Amino acid sequence: MISLPLSELLSVFLFASTLMLLLWLTYLQTKNPTIVDLGWTISIAFAAWFYGIRGGGDFLHRAIIISMVTFWGFRLSSHLFLHRILPKIEDGRYTQLKKIWTKNTDWIFLGFFELQAIVATILSIPFLIITQNSATSLTYWEY
């Protein structure tokens, strides 16, 4: 049985929450909330690295998670940065939300940004479990 180190989850959440707060401050200047997607991607990649480095499991399990999530994170964050953030293109989802959230939009987006930190932390739990796995070989579920 693998137990989840709650301090590891808390550390990832604190990183993600702080990053989202900083990105929300950037949003206040640009009024383009698309940057939250970049923060979400960075938070998940950070979690994989953090768990992989600090994990007590077998090196192979940790290396696989770090490699896979780094590849995914680099690919997605590069796309977001080059095709959305640099050209200052607002994602259509956020344009729609702005139409719905007509009052206190900035504060609602703060909650939205912080919700992304919670979601990133929750979605990182499988990485934490895998990096705690001390088995020296891969199992059926890992293929």
Q: Looking at per-residue confidence, does 134 or 124 come out higher? A: 124
Output the CA torsion sign for 22, 24, 26, 29: negative
| Model confidence, pTM | 0.91
Count Cβ atoms within 10 A of the Cβ of residue 141 and give its class: 0-12 exposed, 13-18 middle, 19 or more buried: exposed
Q: Is 90 left (phi over 0), alpha (psi -120 to 50) or beta?
A: beta
100 CB neighbour count, 10 Å cutoff? 8
Distance CA(7)–CA(127), nearest Å, equals 15
pLDDT in tens, 65-124: 999 999 999 999 999 999 999 999 999 999 999 999 999 999 999 999 999 999 999 999
